[in-house]
Amino acid sequence: MSQGFRIVGVKGFGSLGVKPRHLLRLLLLSALGFQLSACEEPISVDYSGPVAGWSHYGADAGGRRFSPLTQINHENVASLRVAWTYHTGDVVKTSPQGLGTSFQNTPILIGDTLYLCSPRNKAIALDAETGQERWVFDAEVDTTGVMLTLCRGVSYWRDPQAKVNAVCAERIFMGTLDARMIALDAKTGMPCGGFGKGGSVDLSEGIGHRFPGEYGVTSPPLILGDLLVTGAMVLDNIRVDAPGGVVRAYDLRTGALRWSWDPLPPGRKYIEGIDESGENVRYQRGTTNAWSILSGDAEMGLVFVPTGNTAPDFFGAQRDGLDYYSSSIVALSLETGEPVWHFQTVHHDIWDYDVPAQPALFEFSGPGGPLPAVAQATKLGHIFLLDRRNGKPLFPVEERPVPRDGVEGEVLAPTQPFPTLPRPIHPSTLSPSDAWGITPLDRWDCRRKIEYLRYEGPFTPPNTKGWIGFPSYFGGSNWGSVAIDNTRGLLITNTSRMASVLRLIPRAEFSARMASAAEAGDAPPIWEPQEGTPYAMTRDFLVSFLGLPCSPPPWGTLVAIDLATGELRWEVPLGTTEDIAPLSIGLPLGVPSQGGPIVTASGLIFVAAAMDDYLRAFDAESGEELWKGRLPAGGQATPLTYRTHASGKQFVVIAAGGHALMETTQGDAVVAFALED
């Protein structure tokens, strides 16, 4: 379920010991050229095009992240300027857990109002044209034990039975870090008293005992028909009997539970009981959870659920079949919550290769089409294109043999599924000869580490000596998901390409080390306990002694795939080292990213996400970078775009608050860009 990462020593990229005078001169000239172009005469703004909003986290319930807007186009995108900036006031740079806030939010637009949530669950309404604050509701969450302090979005519903202007006729729904679902009046921000108890439903009901911060909601709920459907985030690698990953549907008016899907293998039922703490347990513990964003098809009556790992991530001998739905896309009946079909992207996943991205619905026009389809990106850099009706692959998927010699007691799957088209968008080989470095010395250091650690492809069995994860548990793709260009038949997504180093730690070694640290009064090592198994574990990123990645660049890319043929249309590096290298040296190597792209009918892709503080625009046809705008903090979020009325401008809005685990620039800004007139 990993939703972020930490790169120890990479923030400064080390002291390189070189004098990049020539590079700096080029960078200064480039910067001067950018400033000169920014001073050109503003162009005339065309007000004749379409008007469009952004009513869901992914633009629509199907997660396409596509806008029909055309006011901003290839000819004028270089004239984008900051139109307004809003500060939430909710930023924490450190916490008792050592991590601060991460502003990963994508607002939604309803009418002329933007709705968003801050990392600690403040729901906020803004004037979409000016950024002026209309109301704020503070959920006053308890963040004790919370490792990832974030809220990715809110959802909206208009009650068709309510009178116009009636209280709570329009509602904003927000899940919280302390496991509540809150309903607010969209006009005032006041709780809707008829929903649950005083406007809130307790999502911890029936979950049983939870450690502080172990169970909560970080993604916006799916609103479909008269139902709200939500999963929850469960912390990785804590214990075997982690809180269960149940997905539940609630009545949008009353908050009454309508159905629940307990992700158990077919034919298995859980008998409700009382746990050791005296709490009621209605759902099986330790099952796969659905922490990311759900999609829905109202006409087909289906909810599409991307699932994470069964607890814990890196040892599965004690799962007893509970990973039947792990690392899968599952189609549930909207009416009953029963599984209609599921497609598993990794069998018996013990690598944290869960499905992090929102499923994206599209119409397939290739062989056998047209037909309703769904695209699913994974951390492996695999993209599966499936028939939305039955989950069958639209292009062949091969079951290929993989290594099986894991640690004692582990039983690994003999094969894993590989899509033939689209081909994986992340490399699956890494040898000592691939070791990268900016100097011969750190390249030698990386080669030595790769030689020592085991690596036999992405499904290298976990072991006690150490192995390389490539793709890493970070991805590949992550929660930023994909964008679907309806006009050009393209799938757009960003990827990260950092290798990780991982090790299983025998329980005796773990216990002795923890006891030794406690006795000496030292800080314990950052090891993940995996309680209830024979092994704890540790993981980090594979870097040289300078803090530079050992895998070759690009470390981040933006790609486009032809949806009709499955072929790669283009691929370009995404981001520079400007905000992570000494002296702000902006090497165009491509860097890791969190967040995703959007695409417009005018053929523009907007994406931030990378570890430098920019929002960028790319040409959807070629991948050429056309513009970039400086942000006050890291843009580890997905933008949105909208135009509220015929005489209005098209805005592109991005949350710029950074990502605590990525160590990007932290802040609390919502930044809107528009054309100058």
Question: Looking at the annotation, which residues are catalytic?
Answer: 352
- Per the listing, tokens 């450690």 go with 211
> In whole angstroms, what is the distance from residue 487 CA to residue 365 CA?
12
Token pair for 217: 């909601």
Q: What's the sign of the alpha-carbon dihedral 416, 421, 427, 430?
A: positive
- Whether a cis peptide bond, with omega within 30° of 0, leads into 471 is yes
Residues in CB range of 65: below 8 A, 6 or more apart: 58, 59, 360, 481, 482, 483, 484, 596, 597, 598, 599, 638
Which 3 state secondary structure label does DSSP give 360? Answer: strand
Please give the DSSP secondary-structure letter assigned to residue 501.
E
C-alpha distances in angstroms, 369 versus 62, 496, 564? 19, 32, 9
Find the DSSP H helices in 481-640: 507-520
287: closest CA among 256, 341, 330, 250?
A: 330
Q: What are phi and psi of 451, to 5 degrees?
A: -65, -35
Please give the DSSP secondary-structure letter assigned to residue 381.
S
Token pair for 608: 């931030």
C-alpha distances in angstroms, 162 versus 104, 158, 199, 200, 490? 33, 8, 17, 20, 40
Q: What are phi and psi of 196, to 5 degrees?
A: 60, -135
Spacing of C-alpha 285 from chain mean position = 24
> In whole angstroms, what is the distance from residue 220 CA to residue 201 CA?
15
Q: What are phi and psi of 449, to 5 degrees?
A: -70, -40
